[in-house]
A and B are shown apart, each in its own frame.
Chain A
Amino acid sequence: MSGKTLYDKLWEQHVVKEREDGTALIYIDRQLLHEVTSPQAFEGLRIASRKPWRLDANLATPDHNVPTTQNEREAGVDGIVDPVSRIQVVTLDNNCDEFGITEFKMQDQRQGIVHVVGPEQGATLPGMTVVCGDSHTATHGAFAALAHGIGTSEVEHVLATQCLIQRKMKNLLIKVDGELAAGITGKDVVLHVIGIIGTAGGTGYAMEFGGSAIRTMSMEGRMTMCNMAIEAGARVGMVSFDEVTANYVKGRPYAPAADQWEQALAAWSDLVSDADAEFDKVVEIRAEDIKPQVTWGTSPEMVTTVDATVPVLEDARDDVERSAFTRAYEYMGLEPGQKITDIRLDRVFIGSCTNSRIEDLRAAAEVAKGRKVADSLTQALVVPGSGLVKAQAEAEGLDKIFVEAGFEWREPGCSMCLAMNADKLGNGEHCASTSNRNFEGRQGYGGRTHLVSPAMAAAAAIAGHFVDVRDFS
């Protein structure tokens, strides 16, 4: 018999009951909640007079709608200018108070983007099933956890039953072997992968990232990759447990305390894909082949390298892709064959659950240090992922580096990743963004998003157009 994959193991450990039709009732260890996808779920509980099954499995924080300017933040929840945003944040506060769920409210230093907060607090642990009404929940799989996004009806289902009805997925291994060149990050790896397998390449699969390049990668880099598994169609991204995982988790507020630590480590050490595990699909990638990535179009698979050009129509696979290319040229205001380094930028956004952790900010600050944001830019924003990331960055003096270079240093939240608050692109503006989606209108009506790593975004801010960060030191 062949061995088991990490996903097989996590699945088996959480089956409450298998049903005849091939679905199973899966136990959920942790649910994270935010203000956008939870109000209708709490309303559903109220209407049916149900109570949450297990309070201590839930943790909430507002992130999508919170303002990121200091002025607006200082006035507290009542000071949120946009009335609709305010209602959502207030509704989350009220629901958590009413049902007794722990929430890091907007003024709490632990508040932040839910996918940054969970790991930072040790509320995401190896071996857990983690869900949240948000597709980027895949992020938490970096901890050898089974984590995925769910819809609002399922949020209600988990609140009421601590379970989900699931069907087992297939196993996909993305094997990245070799050594990444200097300046190449998890962001470049995952964009490179999406460029190869496409935005539907992972549909129906649990996607594990393995290989020697992943073993030497930090937890931050792993989280960035798992975060974007969904952009390749996979609900689940994951990385096997190792020392890097253990070192990150140790000592976090909700991590196992000293007396349970050894017992937990013993249980976690098996959270790896066995050497003889069989995957349904394996994609092999040489780390040396990966260059800094930049998306040019309106889907994350429309990606190329910084030294390349916007693809021409002849590069499209078929008619469907040809028409997608044509639409993307028009929306993005780009010419086929145009050099990526010739794309002029209007704004730069460093933030989001993909790239707003301390390591991301350090990488961007290193590029920005002693330089100035180009005059041609309207705005360059740095938005830390949580209040704690912000505090850490300030302790290291990163905020000063950014401000001196001409970046705006903001309060934590989703911000310009999806423009639900005041931070957005103007019609037709080009933005170098460290977020995860370049869909039409994602960062503001008519806005044009180019996805890049934090260092690439910082370099682009300085130059006013894309530049190869490897030539920038």
Chain B
Amino acid sequence: MQAFTVHQGLVAPMDRANVDTDMIIPKQFLKSIKRSGFGPNLFDELRYLDEGVPDADNSGRPLNPDFVLNLPRYQGASVLLARENFGCGSSREHAPWALEDFGFRTVIAPSFADIFYNNCFKNGLLPIVLDESIVDRLFKAVDTQEGYQLTVDLEREVIETADGESIAFEVDAFRRHCLLNGLDDIGLTLQDADDIRTYEASRRESAPWLFGTV
């Protein structure tokens, strides 16, 4: 997994609430058995004017000129600014894969859906929860200042704006540790293999019907 320490990048605004994972990556692209290559189909139904098909060349498709990520001023954006309940709906991990593959490293919103939030951390994508009023302010800034950038420092848990303001955020310690170091959490869990075996032995005692049937 790609580590996340400090990232500076252009901010793109996604100004709608309850953006669901179907919207982030429509289901026809879930047919892939790979983890990569989802970027060109990120927000497919909003981004293009025609219907997307998997494994096709997207370069000749008609773009929706009004969709925010198609505007020239947001090309190369790597920080996504979003509204409440971002990533709701299906648990598909293809959503963070698509955001990452497109080039986003972090998503800032007043709230996230639980499963999506969790999935981001497994993929080196940092979801940041900020107060609604701060998010509002950032939307205004992005709108009025072309080329608006933010610097996200996970080590110190602050976001810095170009005019020197610092905005604090919080990420729980374990997730932060894994993300900072790009750690694979299966390896970490397997360090506790003895504890797992001990637990399993006692469970086999108390609920034997759960073992050996399937």
Contacts and interface: CB of A to CB of B under 8 A. Distances in A.
Interface of A: 16-17, 19-23, 25, 27, 29-30, 36-37, 39-40, 43, 48, 50, 53-54, 56-59, 64-65, 84-85, 87-88, 91, 102, 123, 125, 127-128, 133-135, 148-154, 156-157, 160-163, 165, 167, 199-200, 203-204, 233, 235, 254-257, 260, 263-264, 267, 299, 320-321, 323-324, 327, 418-420, 437, 439-442, 445
A254 B214 contact: yes
B35 A40 contact: yes
Contacts of A420: 27-28, 30-31
B179 to A, nearest CB: 13
Given A16-B195, A445-B45, A254 B213 contact: yes
A442 B45 CA distance: 11
Given A25-B195, A91-B33, 11 more contacts: A23-B172, A25-B189, A37-B30, A37-B91, A43-B35, A154-B122, A160-B186, A167-B172, A200-B84, A260-B208, A324-B16
Contacts of A27: 196, 199-200, 203
A152 B195 contact: no
B207 A267 contact: yes
Contacts of B119: 151, 153-154
14 contacts: A29-B210, A91-B33, A128-B210, A149-B115, A160-B190, A162-B200, A165-B174, A199-B18, A233-B88, A233-B113, A299-B18, A320-B84, A321-B17, A440-B45
A19 B195 CA distance: 13
Contacts of B54: 84
Closest 6 interchain pairs by CB? A256-B209, A153-B122, A39-B33, A151-B93, A151-B119, A149-B91
Contacts of A88: 31, 33
A87 B118 CA distance: 28
Contacts of A59: 214
B210 A125 contact: yes
Interface of B: 16-18, 20, 22-23, 26-28, 30-35, 45, 51, 54-55, 83-85, 88-93, 96, 111, 113-115, 118-119, 122-123, 172-174, 185-186, 189-190, 192-193, 195-196, 199-200, 203, 206-214
A219 B151 CA distance: 51
B212 A441 contact: no
Contacts of B20: 299, 439
A87 B212 contact: no
Given A21-B172, A254-B214, A324-B16, A439 B209 contact: no
Nearest to A29: B210
A125 B196 contact: no
Given A84-B31, A135-B90, A323-B16, A48 B214 contact: no
B190 A442 contact: no
Contacts of B113: 200, 203, 233
A233 B28 CA distance: 24
A22 B22 contact: no
A150 B91 contact: yes
